[in-house]
Structure 1
Amino acid sequence: MARDRNTEAEFKRPLRRVLVSALIFLLAVIFLIWRIDSPRVERFRAAVIDRVVPNMEWALVPVTKFMDMVDGFQSYAALYDQNQELRRELQQMKAWKEAAVQLEQQNAKLLAQNQVRLDPKLTSVSGVVLADAGSPFRQSVLLNVGSRDGIVDGWATMDGLGLVGRISGVGQTTARVILLTDASSRIPVVIQPSGQKAMLVGDNSHSPPVEFLEAPEQVRPGDRVISSGDGGVFPAGLLVGQVTLGTDQRLRVALAADYERLNFLRVLRSHPAEQITEAGRLIPPPIAPDTEAAETPAPAEAGDG
């Protein structure tokens, strides 16, 4: 058995060498044929191509499919990159949209403030609402205006719609505003058209109640509420809101100011009314001419003894 195997191996080795040599010779001939620049060889090459290539389509199918797959993968990669780029642009557009919405809201607030009808004697300073830094008051905000801008404690603040609160605490560059909803807020108001005077009392709710009404039966939901100016706390005639009936059956005020979007506030420069500290002189009524003539004594005659 070992001898037969050795014999078979000795037979295969020369045959392998012959086949390898023939393959190398065939490749060399094909190379030479493809490299020779001769009209006859050129015609021979064309004839071989015409004869062989059409019959080799079955062999080119895998290559064609593979190239299609490569092209498809490249197209998919390009689409994926384009999709990612569009996503980034969409994200940027969303950011720009949000910025545009905020600018639009700020512009609307400023326009609303410019359209508020106030006493021409009242001037104002507009400020931006900052985050509340914390204080004993639960319903307050900070403004970016202070004593350097001439802000004084007690001045009224409004947004573009109605009264918001009053200044309570002034720093160099900031000021604190106590809102009408704060539990420490008390302002005198007038309810129109009945003319009833009352007190708007903050209770840390969005709709503070009105108290100390003289005739509550004359007040109806929807009546207009304005500041009365009593006590010199606020200027008279500032819009506060409308009367509404609360769930507790109490008369409350739906505030005109938009407390959900306090971006800008207008601080009203109000000047205290002139105080009368001393009594004036009594002015007598005018005397009629006939009465004055009757009361005047006639002059004595020269002949009277």
Structure 2
Amino acid sequence: MAKDRDEDYAGPLRRILIAVLALLLAVIFLAWRIDSVRVERLRASFIDRFVPTFDWAMVPVTKTLSMIEGFQSYARIYEQNQELRRELQQMKAWKEAAVQLEQQNAKLLAQNQVRLDPKLTSVSGVVLADSGSPFRQSVLLNVGARDGIMDGWATMDGLGLVGRISGVGKSTCRVVLLTDTASRVPVTIQPSGQRAMLTGDNSMLPPLDFLENPDLVRPGDRVVSSGDGGVFPAGLLVGQVVQGQDRRLRVMLAADYERLDFLRVLRSHPAEKITDIGPLVAPSETPLPAESDDAPEAAGGSDG
């Protein structure tokens, strides 16, 4: 019964409070909108008296608004950061592509600037694959028999001699590098003019064998192909002489073996061999004018 009585009073009391609060708010609204000097003074006095004391009540609202603004700013910064990361990844990809194109362009320009015998023509090819074997060092080119490639022709990059053609297919060919153990290239060491054999040993510094006089060879001397045996044309740059850790004279190859992208195949033709013995040069049948025996006497008589 007590509960029912309380509930009977709670409803009307709540409605009365709501009505009073609505009336109070209406009075405040009307008072705030009245255009009167006295009311204006009253509003000013009320603001000066109560508003400064409500700063503590506005602190949570201010902090909440600051947190919301900070979170929105953080979200914008995060989105900008993600966008910059994506752009950076794209720039890295473009940079890598630009570096590769720059390297290819430099190598092609270097090949165009190589001074070769005017009689030698060439075919440029792209390196397709490397054998990757520690016992055989060779590469594949995308030129072959359809391009007129023949076994034994020399190959160069933009700097120096790389190897020789060993195996020709219809559209590809294999190049045995100078570093391969099967490679033997006769060379000339300048300026001494010493002849030697460059022997591959699967290292980047192949040794010089069969030197005529090693005392005349110094580190830093220039090494070029000699053309002996008709394997390679003469005068192709091979590298320079260095002294290895085993105290042997070796060659630092001029070709960049770490970046073999393009190779130039030289169309070399074997030198013409002379097999016939030519006839001896016969003396001239025209008699030489004979000197007169009286000339000296005449000269002597005139002196007397």
> Which interval holds the TM-score relative to the shorter structure?
0.7 to 0.9
- 1:98 is paired with a residue of what secondary structure? helix
- 1:222 is paired with a residue of what secondary structure? coil
- Number of the residue aligned with 2:10: 16
Q: For residues 23 and 71 of structure 2, what CA distance do their matches in structure 1 show?
A: 39
- Number of the residue aligned with 1:296: none
How do 1:96-107 and structure 2 match up within 5 A? 96-107=94-105
Q: Which 4+ runs in 1 deviate beyond 3 A?
A: 9-12, 26-36, 38-53, 55-58, 133-137
Change (3 A) 1:48 1:161: same
Quote the offset at 1:109 in angstroms.
1.1
Change (3 A) 1:49 1:267: farther
Give the gaps of 5 or more residues in structure 2.
291-304
- Number of the residue aligned with 2:46: 51
Quote the offset at 1:89 in angstroms.
1.0
Change (3 A) 1:150 1:192: same
- What percent of counterpart residues are identical? 67
Superposition CA RMSD, Å: 3.0
Quote the offset at 1:27 in angstroms.
4.9
Quote the offset at 1:238 in angstroms.
0.4
Change (3 A) 1:61 1:216: same
Q: For residues 178 and 130 of structure 1, what CA distance do their matches in structure 2 show?
A: 14
One-letter code of the match for 1:156?
A
Post-superposition Cα deviations, 1:1-32, rounded to whole Å, max 9, x if no partner, equal: xxxxx54x455334422331123313543676
Matched residue count: 286
Q: For residues 230 and 195 of structure 2, what CA distance do their matches in structure 1 show?
A: 15
- Number of the residue aligned with 1:177: 175
Q: TM-score, normalised by structure 1?
A: 0.83
Quote the offset at 1:49 in angstroms.
9.8
Quote the offset at 1:169 in angstroms.
1.1
* 1:188 paired residue among 186, 189, 196: 186
Q: For residues 120 and 77 of structure 2, what CA distance do their matches in structure 1 show?
A: 63
- 2:140 is paired with a residue of what secondary structure? strand
Quote the offset at 1:240 in angstroms.
0.5
Give the gaps of 5 or more residues in structure 1.
1-5, 293-305
Post-superposition Cα deviations, 1:40-74, rounded to whole Å, max 9, x if no partner, equal: 49998996798377254433322222121111101
Change (3 A) 1:94 1:39: closer
One-letter code of the match for 2:10?
R
- 1:95 is paired with a residue of what secondary structure? helix
- Number of the residue aligned with 1:203: 201
- Number of the residue aligned with 1:283: 281
Change (3 A) 1:85 1:39: closer
Q: For residues 170 and 268 of structure 1, what CA distance do their matches in structure 2 show?
A: 14
Quote the offset at 1:191 in angstroms.
0.9
Q: Answer with 216-225 or 41-50: which moved more.
A: 41-50
- Number of the residue aligned with 1:224: 222
Change (3 A) 1:20 1:110: same
Quote the offset at 1:290 in angstroms.
4.1
- Number of the residue aligned with 1:234: 232
One-letter code of the match for 2:178?
L
Quote the offset at 1:119 in angstroms.
0.7
Q: For residues 39 and 83 of structure 1, what CA distance do their matches in structure 2 show?
A: 50
